[in-house]
Amino acid sequence: MVNNGQTETAALVAMLSERAAVNVRLALVAHAQQWRLHHGQVALDDDAPVKARAWRYSTATFLELRLPGPTVAALVRGDDQDVHGLHVVSPDLTSSTASTYRLRGQEEWDRVTTPWPRTEWTVNRDINAPQPGHGLLVGDGPSFLNFDQALSAFLHQRPHDNNAGRSDLWRIVQPQRAGWLSQITIGPDLLTAVVDGDALDGAVLELSWAADNQLHSVDGAGTYCFPLPHGLAHDSLLMLRREDEWLDWRSFPAPAYGRARDASVVWEQPGPELDILLANGEGKHLECKQEVPEGDSRKKMLKTIAAFASQDGGTVLIGVRDDLQIVGLPEKPTVDKQELQVVGMIRDSVEPAPPYESRVIEHDGKKVLAIEVSGGGQMYAYRDRDSQRPEFYVRVGPNTVPARHHEIAAGFRQAPTATTF
């Protein structure tokens, strides 16, 4: 099985040629009275039914359909083809190799997440190729402000963001369903893994950590348990493998603060998770507050949330002292009211609305409020209630500091509204 690296495009063309049919999404732009391929996605998945769609506009067309493998192979090779009543001009490849990525289950890449692992190949577009226009798209399909929005909606059914400004001409996806971890439950003294898959003969499930490892032979889809007499060790790795080939895996390091949570991992008792969160202390991605802040402390927390969102995310824990002692939220007002109070602060003082989740973690009878902020891919401002002036901040180690002019400018250049093809 191919790992991360490079694959000869000739090998991809040969692989496509051998398939009777594949599912394809094509984004075409009108250029010099021709339909030129701007981006194509191929799913090498015979189990996934295709939902045939065609959005047609005067300057762009978006197609989703099932095509013969040799037809798609010819398009990837750079040969023009007739597709759905259109003559499609496919650009010549600028490289003889494609970038190769092998992704575990539940791993998001380019806005796609699947329960099972997958291999993806991308072929870059010529940066000098003609680009789509930016006018309104009105025609036989939903109306959009511009090509960017239409492409994001067609590929992901989600609003446009800076990931829609793609540099790849082709993206080819192949699911790997030999075996995968569909759910992991972590308790205080037991890890339970649910294994699924189509070809599990000879597979082994391994839980490893710095001091030791445990092995389980896998005799088919089902549930497998690992005792944890001392709890889950930091930096543990759960691996489903066959000899020296991995099928799927999950790692449990100190959490990546503010990042999307893995839906396949359930912490049965959140206490151990909070211990891991606090293991490295306050820093670039973690801020602790003893209670819901007021006054200057309130401003500092909101500035930190804006900084987390402007960079690569972070977590604010309320109910934890600066020395990392867990004191819990006070009994009054209720936890729900305290959470709503923080949510209201964020809504009133951080613009635009930052990407975050709030949740309550229980630990030894105490409750801690976690505000998990994801990196938003743009600059977020703290707006002072008195001056109403927007202020921009970044995180430097454990400190929140005013952003410099070049940091603010860079943040706005990468914002979704500034993205161009």
* 325-354 pLDDT per residue, tens: 999 999 889 999 999 999 999 999 999 889
Instruction: Round to whole Å and give the CA distance between 73 and 69.
Output: 6
Is the Cβ–Cβ distance between 168 and 126 less than 8 Å? no
User: Which value, in Å, is the radius of gyration of the alpha carbons in the chain?
Assistant: 25
Residue 352: cis peptide before it, omega within 30 degrees of 0: yes
pTM for this prediction: 0.69
Within the chain, which residue ranges are assigned CATH 3.30.950?
Answer: 275-418
192 and 184 in contact (C-beta within 8 Å)?
A: yes
Question: How many CB atoms are closer than 10 A to CB 403?
Answer: 22
Residue 210 is given by DSSP the state S
What's the distance, CA 13 to chain centroid? 28
User: In the block, which residue shows the tokens 């000899």?
Assistant: 243
Measured distance CA(231)–CA(371) in Å, rounded: 25
Q: Is 410 helix (H, G, I), strand (E, B) or coil?
A: helix
Q: Has residue 2 got a pLDDT over 70?
A: no
Express each pLDDT in 253-264 by its tens digit.
655 445 556 778
pLDDT score for 207: 97
Architecture per CATH, 275-418: 2-Layer Sandwich (3.30)
What would the pLDDT profile of 157-212 be if each residue is shown by its tens digit? 876 654 445 688 999 999 999 999 999 998 878 999 999 999 999 999 999 999 99
The two three-digit tokens of residue 225, written as one number: 């348990």
For residue 21 the two structure tokens come to 């049919």
User: How would you class 415 by CB atoms within 10 Å of its CB: exposed for 0-12, middle for 13-18, buried for 19 or more?
Assistant: middle
Beta-carbon count within 10 A of 381 CB = 21
* Residue 271: band (very low, low, confident or very high) from pLDDT cuts 50, 70, 90: low
CA distances from 236 to 134, 208, 253, 310, 403 (A): 48, 6, 7, 30, 36
Average pLDDT over all residues of the chain: 87
Tokens of 121: 């190949």
User: What does the pLDDT average to over 68-73?
Assistant: 97
Residue type, 209: W
Q: What architecture does CATH give domain 180-253? A: Sandwich (2.60)
Range(s) of the chain covered by CATH 2.60.40: 180-253
**Exposed/middle/buried for 143, CB within 10 Å: 0-12, 13-18, 19+?**
exposed
Q: Residue 166, class by beta-carbon neighbours within 10 Å (0-12 exposed, 13-18 middle, 19+ buried)?
A: buried
Residue scoring higher pLDDT (276 or 29): 29
